[in-house]
């Protein structure tokens, strides 16, 4: 223990210990939770495209420049991938910059405690900071804000540390960190820490420390890094509009709320008590505790000025997100840790502290009970509710989602968390008022939620349903087409390069040029596509988190080899119908076993399967261009048959002369079961070996409405005897 204290007393030793602590604290979530949309998957995909395409100066997304963020985060993700994973960009390497930012934040808190003569509580301050809700959340998330916070904290540490004695070296490091922060998230990386420092010094009445020369040359140092990057971008012929959007739209328009997230001016006042749990509850007691001597009051004013500046600065903009004020919470940890030993032991404080200490084990116990009851809860809720037709669809869908989450696998982790909390309460019983007693309980709670519970939802937060479709319908080197959708997470998980199609004309052009492909769009777009471009594709609806998406594939090679785009015509294609199949009046019935004639290049279905097809006038289609009135050689005839029947592309609109089997699950819910081209003669069974298995998906119910008036050519490749659709 004495050796550990010696190591901790040194700045480098404290940094090493905090790094190991961060690995243990956030490592479970970093390794077990996959990359979720929107930010994590987006940053990973942009970094991956940067690596594969060599766009090291101008980040790109789906082949288009990405001006929303400067490149530092993407550089660090690629550096982490090279050093830690052999170049692979995964959940660990994507979140590693956030881990570095968290370590920098905790180390800065420790060093500021020592700088302000609170060194005996420096470890408690670091643990309090780590056990703050928003700090834990952002440390486990692959976002820029934790990295930004770490750089800003290093800048503040360097500025405060050169107050007692002017140091050009420390001031240089401060502005260097600000420059890196600008490369991470733009001008806020320079403005916020500098203004926070100024406000803190003015509030503490320490204006004499502001008489330094670094105000002259420091901003030049801070802007040198982003300025060098911008100069290199300009010299390398950036895409048209990139610099304008980066420098103006992403700063001025975002500050005016043009990019969304518009919230009222008091937004941060409502989030601060929640994101600052549990320590925001103790802030009034800490304020009173730091009112004793002048040194305590100066520290109170300094930290208050820091916190108020950050909140006010971001409140001035209509665009607000709770993570914008992440820099407030290290100051909150410094505030509470510095005041802890001066708390006035009142009845109210004792009750609050007792409630905060018992909340984590009680919550974990409740979660354990709910997890054990998870197999039965959805059914009980559903039976207790009143679910009329067309009502509570969202609740029913949520219950269906909960049924598929493997909650029971979290039982061991929750049990271990309860044991650790019990051990913490037992070991700290001699010191019931110690700050690390309360902090350890909340740290265990957060680590359990992040490392054990959140990963349970990986399958619902990642587009795994899309992977087999991409493997089946996107050729080698092909692209995943994203119609009116950015979809970085979709391209990331399928391993295909994304391409955004903004208009219907762009989509029609792609479908006309690419014989087989896959696109993804939001379900609301399907209503616009039906009867037009949508008639030539097969939809596969799926849900990604709270979004309802549709993956649609097309295989548009026509009989003559040309791609057919748009709605099918009744004179050429088989259409689904709710009427029984009948032989056309002028079509001979060649359905006897052994009759393998092929006089006109077509074969007939010998018997319908379920509700079959309505041939309509399709039997009058012209003969294939390669057909000969005479009898072709036997080898040529077999070749034609294989090309015509066995190698029909998946999803092709099939001519009536080819073989089609259409089955309906039942007439009540009218779900499409399967439609496949196949060879069928006499007693033979359908031969679909040439068609790979892909998951069953339920098409929209609207495709079965008014089939005769608006025929739709849907062909769902699936197993022959699969009866139950997968979720």
DSSP state of 208: G
pLDDT tier at 380, thresholds 50, 70, 90? confident
Do residues 691 and 676 make contact, with C-beta atoms less than 8 angstroms apart?
A: yes
Q: How far, in Å, CA of 124 to CA of 340, rounded?
A: 10
Rounded to 5 degrees, φ, ψ at 552 are: -125, 130
Q: Looking at residue 166, what is its pLDDT?
A: 82
Q: Report whether pLDDT(566) > 50.
A: no
- Per-residue pLDDT of 420-458, as tens digits, reads 999 999 998 888 889 999 999 999 999 999 999 999 999
Q: How far, in Å, CA of 164 to CA of 183, rounded?
A: 30
Q: State mean pLDDT over 198-227.
A: 94
Contacts of 143 (CB under 8 A, 6+ apart): 39, 40, 43, 98, 323
What b/e string do you get for 208-238 counting C-beta neighbours within 10 Å, with b at 16 or more?
eeeeeebeeebeebbbebbeebbeebeeeeb
Better-scored residue on pLDDT, 203 or 677: 203
Q: State mean pLDDT over 615-632.
A: 37
Pairing mode, if any, of strands 575-576 and 538-544? unpaired
At 322, list the tokens: 């709770």
At 56, list the tokens: 């090291």
At 521, list the tokens: 């769009």
Taking CA atoms, 542 is separated from 464, 482, 490, 531, 716, in Å, by: 10, 15, 12, 21, 15
pLDDT tier at 560, thresholds 50, 70, 90? very low
Cα angle 483-489-492, degrees, rounded to a multiple of 5: 105
What b/e string do you get for 273-303 counting C-beta neighbours within 10 Å, with b at 16 or more?
eebbbbbbebbebbeebbeeeeeeebbbbbb
Kind and range of the H or E run holding 281: none
Q: Tokens 């690629």 label which residue?
A: 78
Q: Looking at residue 116, what is its pLDDT?
A: 95
- SS3 string of 460-508? HHCCCCHHHHHHHHCCCCCEEEEECCCCHHHHHHHCCEEEEECCHHHHH
Contacts of 35 (CB under 8 A, 6+ apart): 41, 44, 90, 91, 94, 142, 462, 489, 492
- Per-residue pLDDT of 568-579, as tens digits, reads 322 223 333 333
Least confident segment among 130-134, 396-400, 510-514, 718-722: 718-722
Q: How far, in Å, CA of 522 to CA of 249, rounded?
A: 27
On average, the pLDDT of the chain sits at: 79
Kind and range of the H or E run holding 248: none
Taking CA atoms, 62 is separated from 47, 492, 531, in Å, by: 11, 10, 29
The helix/strand/coil state of 81 is helix
pLDDT tier at 290, thresholds 50, 70, 90? very high
- Per-residue pLDDT of 630-683, as tens digits, reads 444 444 444 443 343 333 333 333 333 332 223 322 333 322 333 333 332 333
Q: What is the distance of C-alpha 91 from the center of its chain? A: 11
Contacts of 399 (CB under 8 A, 6+ apart): 378, 381, 382
- Per-residue pLDDT of 26-68, as tens digits, reads 999 999 999 998 899 999 999 999 999 999 999 999 999 999 9
pLDDT tier at 393, thresholds 50, 70, 90? low
């Amino acid at each position: 223990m004495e050796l550990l204290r010696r190591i901790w007393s040194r700045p480098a030793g404290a940094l090493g210990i905090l790094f190991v602590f961060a690995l243990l604290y956030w490592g479970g979530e970093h390794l077990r939770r996959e990359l979720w949309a929107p930010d994590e998957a987006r940053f990973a995909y942009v970094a991956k495209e940067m690596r594969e395409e060599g766009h090291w100066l101008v980040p790109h997304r789906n082949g288009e420049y990405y001006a929303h963020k400067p490149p530092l985060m993407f550089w660090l993700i690629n550096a982490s991938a090279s050093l830690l994973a052999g170049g692979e960009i995964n959940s660990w390497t994507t979140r590693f910059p956030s881990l570095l930012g968290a370590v920098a934040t905790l180390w800065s808190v420790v060093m500021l405690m020592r700088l302000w003569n609170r060194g005996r509580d420096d470890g408690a301050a670091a643990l309090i900071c780590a056990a703050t809700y928003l700090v834990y959340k952002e440390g486990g998330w692959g976002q820029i804000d934790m990295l930004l916070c770490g750089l800003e904290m290093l800048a503040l540490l360097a500025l405060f540390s050169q107050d007692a004695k002017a140091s050009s070296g420390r001031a240089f490091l401060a502005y260097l960190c600000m420059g890196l922060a600008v490369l991470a998230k733009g001008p806020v990386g320079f403005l916020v820490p500098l203004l926070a420092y100024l406000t803190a010094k003015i509030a503490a009445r320490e204006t004499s420390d502001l008489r330094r020369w670094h105000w002259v040359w420091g901003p030049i140092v801070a802007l040198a890094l982003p300025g060098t990057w911008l100069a290199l971008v300009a010299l390398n012929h950036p895409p048209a509009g990139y610099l304008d959007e980066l420098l103006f739209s992403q700063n001025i328009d975002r500050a005016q709320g043009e990019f969304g997230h518009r919230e009222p001016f008091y937004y941060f006042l409502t989030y601060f008590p929640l994101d600052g749990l549990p320590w925001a509850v103790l802030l009034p007691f800490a304020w009173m505790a730091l009112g004793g001597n002048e040194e305590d009051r100066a520290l109170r004013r300094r930290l208050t000025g820091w916190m108020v500046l950050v909140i006010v600065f971001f409140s001035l903009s209509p665009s607000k997100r709770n993570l914008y004020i992440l820099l407030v919470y290290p100051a909150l940890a410094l505030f509470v840790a510095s005041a802890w030993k001066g708390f006035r032991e009142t009845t109210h404080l004792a009750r609050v502290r007792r409630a905060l200490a018992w909340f984590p084990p009680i919550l974990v116990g409740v979660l354990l009970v709910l997890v054990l009851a998870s197999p039965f809860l959805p059914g009980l809720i559903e039976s207790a509710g009143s679910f009329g037709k067309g009502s509570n669809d969202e609740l029913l869908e949520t219950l269906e989602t909960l049924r598929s989450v493997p909650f029971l696998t979290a039982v061991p982790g929750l049990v271990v968390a309860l044991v650790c909390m019990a051990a913490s309460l037992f070991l700290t019983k001699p010191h019931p008022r110690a700050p690390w007693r309360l902090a350890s309980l909340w740290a265990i709670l957060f680590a359990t939620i992040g490392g054990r519970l959140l990963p349970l939802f990986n399958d619902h937060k990642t587009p795994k349903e899309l992977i087999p479709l991409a493997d089946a319908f996107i050729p080698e080197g092909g692209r995943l087409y994203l119609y009116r959708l950015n979809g970085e997470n979709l391209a990331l998980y399928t391993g295909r390069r994304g391409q955004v199609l903004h208009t219907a004309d762009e989509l029609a052009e792609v479908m006309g040029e690419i014989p087989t492909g896959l696109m993804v769009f939001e379900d609301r777009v399907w209503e616009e596509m039906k009867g037009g471009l949508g008639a030539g594709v097969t939809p596969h609806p799926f849900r990604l988190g709270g979004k309802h998406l549709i993956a649609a594939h097309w295989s548009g090679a026509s009989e003559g080899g040309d791609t057919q785009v748009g709605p099918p015509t009744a004179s050429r294609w088989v259409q689904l119908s709710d009427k029984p199949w009948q032989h056309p009046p002028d079509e001979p019935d060649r359905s006897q076993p052994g009759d393998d004639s092929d006089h006109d290049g077509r074969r007939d279905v010998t018997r319908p399967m379920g509700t079959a097809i309505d041939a309509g006038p399709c039997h009058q289609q012209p003969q294939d261009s390669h057909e000969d009135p005479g009898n072709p050689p036997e080898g040529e005839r077999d070749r034609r048959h294989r090309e015509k029947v066995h190698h029909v592309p998946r999803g092709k609109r099939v001519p009536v002369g080819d073989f089609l089997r259409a089955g309906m699950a039942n007439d009540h819910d009218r779900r499409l079961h399967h439609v496949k081209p196949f060879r069928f003669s006499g007693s033979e069974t359908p031969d679909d070996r040439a068609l790979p298995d892909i998951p069953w998906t339920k098409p929209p119910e609207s495709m079965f409405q008014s089939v005769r008036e608006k025929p739709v050519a849907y062909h769902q490749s699936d197993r022959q005897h699969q009866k139950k659709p997968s979720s």
